Amino acid sequence: MKNIVFPSFIALLAAACSNERSEVAHHDQDATCSGDGIVVSDAWIRAARPGQPTSAAYFALCNGGESEDALVSFTFSGAQAAELHATSLSEDATVSMTPTDEIAVSPGKVAILEPEGQHVMLIGLNAPLVDGETSMATLSFRNAPDVTLEFEIRDAASDHQNHN
Protein backbone atom coordinates (compact mmCIF):
# COMPACT_ATOMS: atom_id res chain seq x y z
CA MET A 1 0.00 0.00 0.00
CA LYS A 2 1.30 3.41 -0.90
CA ASN A 3 1.67 6.19 1.58
CA ILE A 4 -0.89 8.91 1.69
CA VAL A 5 0.42 12.25 2.81
CA PHE A 6 -1.44 15.40 3.61
CA PRO A 7 -0.35 18.87 4.57
CA SER A 8 -0.27 18.89 8.35
CA PHE A 9 -2.96 21.50 8.77
CA ILE A 10 -5.51 19.24 7.18
CA ALA A 11 -4.20 16.00 8.63
CA LEU A 12 -7.27 15.68 10.80
CA LEU A 13 -9.38 15.49 7.70
CA ALA A 14 -7.50 12.55 6.31
CA ALA A 15 -10.08 9.98 7.27
CA ALA A 16 -12.65 11.24 4.83
CA CYS A 17 -10.20 12.06 2.09
CA SER A 18 -7.93 9.07 1.91
CA ASN A 19 -10.64 6.70 0.73
CA GLU A 20 -8.32 3.85 1.71
CA ARG A 21 -6.91 4.02 -1.78
CA SER A 22 -4.04 5.91 -3.25
CA GLU A 23 -4.92 6.56 -6.82
CA VAL A 24 -5.93 9.86 -8.24
CA ALA A 25 -8.89 9.61 -10.53
CA HIS A 26 -8.04 10.30 -14.12
CA HIS A 27 -11.24 10.99 -15.90
CA ASP A 28 -11.26 12.40 -19.36
CA GLN A 29 -11.33 16.10 -18.66
CA ASP A 30 -11.92 16.73 -22.36
CA ALA A 31 -15.40 15.25 -22.19
CA THR A 32 -17.95 17.62 -23.61
CA CYS A 33 -21.47 18.38 -22.51
CA SER A 34 -24.28 20.75 -23.22
CA GLY A 35 -27.11 22.18 -21.22
CA ASP A 36 -28.72 25.37 -20.11
CA GLY A 37 -26.06 27.12 -18.05
CA ILE A 38 -24.49 25.07 -15.27
CA VAL A 39 -26.02 21.60 -14.91
CA VAL A 40 -25.19 19.49 -11.86
CA SER A 41 -25.56 15.72 -12.00
CA ASP A 42 -24.55 12.56 -10.13
CA ALA A 43 -24.75 14.40 -6.83
CA TRP A 44 -23.98 12.30 -3.79
CA ILE A 45 -22.48 12.57 -0.33
CA ARG A 46 -20.52 9.83 1.34
CA ALA A 47 -22.39 8.30 4.29
CA ALA A 48 -20.86 8.99 7.72
CA ARG A 49 -21.16 6.99 10.93
CA PRO A 50 -22.13 8.59 14.25
CA GLY A 51 -19.16 10.56 15.54
CA GLN A 52 -17.40 10.68 12.21
CA PRO A 53 -16.15 14.26 11.84
CA THR A 54 -15.93 14.62 8.08
CA SER A 55 -17.32 13.44 4.80
CA ALA A 56 -17.21 14.53 1.17
CA ALA A 57 -19.59 15.53 -1.59
CA TYR A 58 -19.23 14.49 -5.22
CA PHE A 59 -20.96 15.51 -8.44
CA ALA A 60 -20.41 16.43 -12.07
CA LEU A 61 -20.61 20.00 -13.35
CA CYS A 62 -21.49 20.65 -16.95
CA ASN A 63 -20.90 24.17 -18.17
CA GLY A 64 -23.49 24.59 -20.90
CA GLY A 65 -22.88 28.33 -21.01
CA GLU A 66 -20.58 30.24 -23.30
CA SER A 67 -17.99 31.49 -20.83
CA GLU A 68 -15.61 30.17 -18.24
CA ASP A 69 -17.14 29.55 -14.88
CA ALA A 70 -16.10 28.02 -11.59
CA LEU A 71 -17.59 26.52 -8.48
CA VAL A 72 -16.56 28.84 -5.66
CA SER A 73 -18.48 27.60 -2.65
CA PHE A 74 -20.67 24.85 -1.31
CA THR A 75 -23.31 25.34 1.36
CA PHE A 76 -24.46 22.34 3.36
CA SER A 77 -26.36 22.73 6.63
CA GLY A 78 -25.22 19.31 7.86
CA ALA A 79 -21.63 20.44 8.37
CA GLN A 80 -19.93 23.40 9.98
CA ALA A 81 -17.80 24.04 6.92
CA ALA A 82 -17.31 22.87 3.36
CA GLU A 83 -14.01 23.22 1.50
CA LEU A 84 -13.18 22.63 -2.14
CA HIS A 85 -10.28 20.21 -2.35
CA ALA A 86 -8.02 19.29 -5.21
CA THR A 87 -6.12 16.01 -5.25
CA SER A 88 -2.86 15.29 -6.97
CA LEU A 89 -0.56 12.36 -7.50
CA SER A 90 3.12 13.11 -6.98
CA GLU A 91 6.06 11.49 -8.72
CA ASP A 92 6.60 9.14 -5.80
CA ALA A 93 3.01 7.96 -6.13
CA THR A 94 1.66 9.62 -3.03
CA VAL A 95 -1.71 11.31 -3.08
CA SER A 96 -2.15 14.69 -1.51
CA MET A 97 -5.08 17.02 -1.32
CA THR A 98 -5.12 20.72 -0.86
CA PRO A 99 -7.86 23.29 -0.44
CA THR A 100 -8.53 25.21 -3.62
CA ASP A 101 -10.37 28.49 -4.11
CA GLU A 102 -12.42 27.26 -7.00
CA ILE A 103 -13.10 24.39 -9.36
CA ALA A 104 -13.09 25.76 -12.87
CA VAL A 105 -15.19 24.42 -15.71
CA SER A 106 -14.77 25.64 -19.28
CA PRO A 107 -17.72 26.18 -21.62
CA GLY A 108 -18.96 22.92 -23.07
CA LYS A 109 -16.83 20.91 -20.63
CA VAL A 110 -17.45 18.76 -17.58
CA ALA A 111 -15.74 18.98 -14.20
CA ILE A 112 -16.04 15.75 -12.25
CA LEU A 113 -15.78 15.57 -8.47
CA GLU A 114 -15.32 11.99 -7.34
CA PRO A 115 -13.48 9.74 -4.89
CA GLU A 116 -9.69 10.02 -5.40
CA GLY A 117 -10.29 13.20 -7.35
CA GLN A 118 -11.31 16.72 -6.56
CA HIS A 119 -14.13 16.90 -4.05
CA VAL A 120 -15.97 19.01 -1.54
CA MET A 121 -14.80 18.25 1.99
CA LEU A 122 -17.55 18.45 4.60
CA ILE A 123 -16.00 19.37 7.93
CA GLY A 124 -17.61 19.15 11.34
CA LEU A 125 -20.65 17.02 10.62
CA ASN A 126 -23.66 17.91 12.74
CA ALA A 127 -25.23 14.47 12.48
CA PRO A 128 -24.55 11.07 10.93
CA LEU A 129 -25.15 10.82 7.18
CA VAL A 130 -27.29 7.76 6.59
CA ASP A 131 -27.00 5.64 3.47
CA GLY A 132 -30.14 5.92 1.37
CA GLU A 133 -31.26 9.26 2.73
CA THR A 134 -30.96 12.54 0.88
CA SER A 135 -29.81 16.00 1.81
CA MET A 136 -29.95 19.38 0.12
CA ALA A 137 -26.93 21.51 -0.66
CA THR A 138 -26.27 24.68 -2.61
CA LEU A 139 -23.48 25.28 -5.09
CA SER A 140 -22.33 28.83 -5.81
CA PHE A 141 -20.48 29.84 -8.94
CA ARG A 142 -18.34 32.74 -10.02
CA ASN A 143 -20.84 33.68 -12.75
CA ALA A 144 -23.83 31.35 -12.90
CA PRO A 145 -26.66 31.60 -10.36
CA ASP A 146 -26.65 29.31 -7.34
CA VAL A 147 -27.85 25.75 -7.82
CA THR A 148 -29.61 24.01 -4.95
CA LEU A 149 -30.19 20.31 -5.37
CA GLU A 150 -30.72 17.04 -3.58
CA PHE A 151 -27.73 14.83 -2.82
CA GLU A 152 -28.11 11.10 -2.37
CA ILE A 153 -26.26 9.79 0.68
CA ARG A 154 -24.35 6.64 -0.17
CA ASP A 155 -22.11 4.25 1.69
CA ALA A 156 -18.47 4.45 0.73
CA ALA A 157 -18.74 0.82 -0.33
CA SER A 158 -20.98 1.71 -3.23
CA ASP A 159 -18.26 3.72 -4.92
CA HIS A 160 -16.01 0.67 -4.95
CA GLN A 161 -18.30 -1.15 -7.31
CA ASN A 162 -16.91 0.33 -10.44
CA HIS A 163 -13.37 0.48 -9.23
CA ASN A 164 -10.89 -2.24 -10.09
Least CB distance from residue 98 to Cu ion, whole Å? 9
Q: How many CB atoms lie within 10 A of CB 90?
A: 10
Q: Which residues of 19-33 are buried (b: 16+ CB within 10 A; e: fewer)?
A: beebebbeeeeeeeb
Per CB under 5 A, 57 contacts Cu ion: no
Q: Applying CB under 5 A, which of residues 121, 122, 129, 153 lies at the interface with Cu ion?
A: 121
Least CB distance from residue 121 to Cu ion, whole Å? 4
In the 8-state DSSP scheme, what is residue 4?
Answer: B
Q: Rank residues 49 and 68 by Cβ distance to Cu ion and give the closer one.
A: 49
Per CB under 5 A, 17 contacts Cu ion: yes
Query: Is the CB of residue 75 less than 8 Å from the CB of residue 82?
Result: yes
| Binding residues for Cu ion, total number by CB under 5 A | 4
Of 37, 73, 49, 56, whose CA–CA distance to 119 is shortest?
56
Distance, in Å, from the CA atom of 65 to the CA atom of 74, rounded to the nearest integer, reads 20
Distance, in Å, from the CA atom of 39 to the CA atom of 9, rounded to the nearest integer, reads 33
Per CB under 5 A, 153 contacts Cu ion: no
Determine the number of helices (DSSP H) and then strands (DSSP E) in the chain.
1, 10
Per CB under 5 A, 46 contacts Cu ion: no
Per CB under 5 A, 85 contacts Cu ion: yes
Per CB under 5 A, 113 contacts Cu ion: no
Per CB under 5 A, 97 contacts Cu ion: yes
Q: Rank residues 100 and 140 by Cβ distance to Cu ion and give the closer one.
A: 100
Least CB distance from residue 97 to Cu ion, whole Å? 5
Task: Point out which residues bind Cu ion (CB under 5 A).
Answer: 17, 85, 97, 121
